[in-house]
């Protein structure tokens, strides 16, 4: 049994996983410096990561549209509108006020620049309900989110909280788990 299992992953996109957009191939360790040379901004990197996380997560019931609820002010969620998955499904972004997430309204929750207590309240509210949780401003993953983004000068990374994934009711593709462990 893993207690508070966090696995770091420094990546911009998922390497051997299908690309975010046709012809958009990036390695698992592409840094922001390399991305900047290609014209990729941090908000674009976040969109790629979020899109890939959704792409490789399975919900208990199939979703034709994945409802991504964005909670609170954000610094890097500017490109989360209009995302499409490889199978044609879309990600529909919704703005939600903290404390007003209703059962069944969100398939994924992207928590912006919220205080730690508010983030923990949100993750507790959706725990076990088949909702993916992503924290923008919690690099140590104290919010108990499934995925916690981390922004460094030369890379965007995330941590994977194995306990939160296990309690979520969702299935995350093993390739994401391998990449979060730093394996190709």
What is the C-alpha separation between 126 and 107, in angstroms, rounded?
10
Per-residue pLDDT, averaged over 150-168, amounts to 87
- If one compares 127 and 30, the residue with the highest pLDDT of the two is 127
**Digit-coded pLDDT (tens) for 105-141:** 999 999 999 999 999 999 999 999 999 999 999 988 9
Binned at pLDDT 50, 70 and 90, residue 179 comes out as: low
Asked if residue 162 lies in contact with residue 171, where contact means CB atoms within 8 angstroms, the answer is no
| Pairwise CA distance, residues 18 & 132, whole Å | 20
- The answer to which of 92-106, 135-149, 168-182 has the lowest mean pLDDT is 168-182
Q: How many residues does the chain have?
A: 184
* Integer Cα distance of 156 and 61 in angstroms: 31
Q: Please tell me the predicted confidence (pLDDT) of residue 129.
A: 93
């Amino acid at each position: 049994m893993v207690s508070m299992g966090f696995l770091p992953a420094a990546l911009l996109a998922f390497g051997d996983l299908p690309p975010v957009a046709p012809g958009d191939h990036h390695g698992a360790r592409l840094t922001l410096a390399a991305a900047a040379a290609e014209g990729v901004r941090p908000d674009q990197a976040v969109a790629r990561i979020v899109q890939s996380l959704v792409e490789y997560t399975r919900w208990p019931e199939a979703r034709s549209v994945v409802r991504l609820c964005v909670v609170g002010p954000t610094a890097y969620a500017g490109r989360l509108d209009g995302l499409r998955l490889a199978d044609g499904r879309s990600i529909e972004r919704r703005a939600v006020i903290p404390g007003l997430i209703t059962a069944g309204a969100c398939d994924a929750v992207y928590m912006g620049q919220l205080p730690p207590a508010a983030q923990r309240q949100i993750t507790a509210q959706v725990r076990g309900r088949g909702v993916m949780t992503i924290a923008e401003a919690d690099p140590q993953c104290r919010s108990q989110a499934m995925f916690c983004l981390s922004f460094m000068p030369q890379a965007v990374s995330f941590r994977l909280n194995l306990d939160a994934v296990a309690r979520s009711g969702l299935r995350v593709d093993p390739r994401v788990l391998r990449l979060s462990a730093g394996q190709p």
